[in-house]
């Protein structure tokens, strides 16, 4: 167990690391951020920093020496980096979840073994496998690279008639999976935490609207049936327990409406994020404990906090040029503005977010 005054090492220096470091500081902990990128947003707010490549063993050794435990803000931490650090300090969540969540095929197979519904999927290693996968899954379907895909990068939706071989080549011939297109009514996610002692606390299910594959708006609670919400939380708990997970985890799911039920709504899991998640940013202003504090508590071996919501909450991402609106947002009654300190508002770049909390019936 970590004592106040202890040091948490964070791999990655983006906005998630920044908000983790701020939450840690509030609890009297020091954060040491390790990132290869010189002007990463977390460097502004941490007690110590290392700017070095994830393959730089001398830098990693110094980092490990300086911290009590290590966590990460992104799932694409190289396996060798995680193993190097794990030999020196506790790494939470356990890096075994990285292997799973870095590979869409391994992730889907894990979910299948757990009995959790996913899109129908098939491994695609070459043109022949692609033709067989299309024959099995049909159209429309989605071709995704197994690795290094996020915010819709590395995936191509193949409508009826589209030439999937062209799509496969467009993805560089990398190992892929083909997934059936899920005709979802809404996208939801569950952000939850599991402690070292097996304690578990989930935030209510929230609903996510994406634009061009990037999260745009999250609302909590999701407009789904109570039994669907309970099932979504139960699935998340089952996943966290199967992974012997410690920390905050997010599970993204599709809700499919059925004309014949019950259940009237079916849940199809899309993705597991072994970290704090954009769809949990609303908890900073809208819940008793933020997801960032919750993650710090969990990895430090401290009691988990209350996940009680303060009301109905809406979180909107500020993407690219949206950030220029900061003055107007500040003038809006009840708008809570968070800016990540990034210099250049490039298209598709998450620059900040704004949260509003409403009375439950407003
Ligand atoms: P992902 O990169 O897997 O998180 O996918 C990004 C977004 O693409 C999701 O949030 C969905 O909006 C959409 N998407 C991904 N997979 C599917 C699928 N199998 N069926 C329908 N939409 C999908």
Task: Identify which of 141, 206, 213, 275 to mutate to test ligand 1's pocket (most ligand atoms within 8 A of the CB).
Answer: 213
φ/ψ of residue 204, rounded to 5:
-60, 160
What percentage of residues in the chain have a pLDDT greater than 90? 85
Q: What is the pLDDT of residues 219-274, one digit of tens each?
A: 999 999 999 999 999 999 999 999 999 999 999 999 999 999 899 999 999 999 99
Angle at 236 between CA 234 and CA 237, to 5 degrees: 65
Q: Whose CA is nearest to atom 17 of ligand 1?
A: 181
> Global pTM?
0.96
Q: Is residue 197 very low, low, confident or very high in pLDDT (cuts 50, 70, 90)?
A: very high
pLDDT at 126 over 90: no
- Residue pair 324/283 in contact by the 8 Å Cβ criterion: no
* 84 Cα to the center of ligand 1, angstroms: 33
Ligand 1 touching residue 111 (CB < 6 A): no
* 210 Cα to the center of ligand 1, angstroms: 9
* Tokens linked to 187: 């996208």
Least confident range of 52-66, 129-143, 173-187: 129-143
**Domains contained in the chain, CATH given:** 7-91 (3.40.50.20), 120-180 (3.30.1490.20), 186-358 (3.30.470.20)
- Residue pair 188/205 in contact by the 8 Å Cβ criterion: yes
Q: What is the pLDDT of residues 138-194, one digit of tens each?
A: 888 888 899 876 556 667 776 566 677 777 777 777 889 999 999 999 999 999 999
Q: What is the pLDDT of residue 168?
A: 78
Q: What is the pLDDT of residue 153?
A: 63
Determine the atom of ligand 1 nearest the C-alpha atom of 208.
10
pLDDT at 321 over 80: yes
Q: Whose CA is nearest to atom 18 of ligand 1?
A: 181
């Amino acid at each position: 167990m970590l004592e106040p005054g202890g040091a948490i090492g964070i791999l990655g220096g983006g906005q998630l690391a920044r908000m983790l470091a701020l939450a840690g500081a509030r609890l009297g902990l020091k954060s040491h951020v390790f990132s290869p990128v010189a002007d990463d947003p977390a460097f502004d707010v941490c007690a110590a920093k290392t700017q070095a490549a994830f393959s730089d063993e001398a830098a990693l050794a110094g980092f490990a020496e300086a911290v009590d435990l290590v966590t990460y803000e992104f799932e694409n931490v190289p396996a060798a980096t995680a193993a190097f650090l794990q030999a020196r300090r506790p790494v939470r969540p356990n890096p075994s979840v990285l292997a799973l969540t870095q590979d869409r095929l391994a992730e889907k197979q894990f979910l299948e073994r757990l009995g959790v519904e996913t899109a129908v999927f098939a491994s695609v290693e070459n043109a022949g496998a692609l033709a067989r996968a299309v024959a099995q899954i049909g159209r429309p379907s989605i071709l995704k690279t197994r690795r290094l895909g996020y915010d819709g990068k590395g995936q191509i939706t193949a409508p009826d008639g589209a030439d999937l071989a062209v799509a496969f080549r467009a993805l560089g011939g990398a190992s892929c999976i083909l997934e059936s297109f899920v005709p979802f009514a809404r996208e939801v996610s569950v952000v939850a935490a599991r402690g070292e002692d097996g304690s578990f606390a989930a935030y209510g299910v929230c609903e996510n609207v994406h634009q061009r594959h990037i999260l745009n708006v999250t609302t909590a609670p999701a407009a789904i049936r109570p039994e669907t919400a309970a099932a979504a939380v139960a699935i998340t708990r089952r996943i966290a327990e199967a992974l012997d997970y410690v920390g905050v985890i997010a599970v993204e799911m599709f809700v499919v409406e059925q004309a014949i039920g019950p259940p009237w709504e079916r849940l199809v899991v899309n993705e597991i994020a072994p970290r704090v998640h954009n769809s949990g940013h609303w908890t900073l202003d809208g819940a008793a404990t933020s997801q960032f504090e919750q993650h710090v508590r969990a990895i430090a071996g401290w009691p988990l906090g209350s996940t009680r919501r303060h009301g109905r909450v809406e979180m909107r991402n500020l993407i690219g040029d949206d950030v220029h609106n900061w003055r107007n947002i500040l003038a809006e009654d009840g708008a809570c503005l968070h800016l990540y300190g990034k210099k250049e508002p490039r298209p598709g770049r998450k620059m900040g977010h704004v949260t509003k909390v409403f009375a439950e019936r407003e």
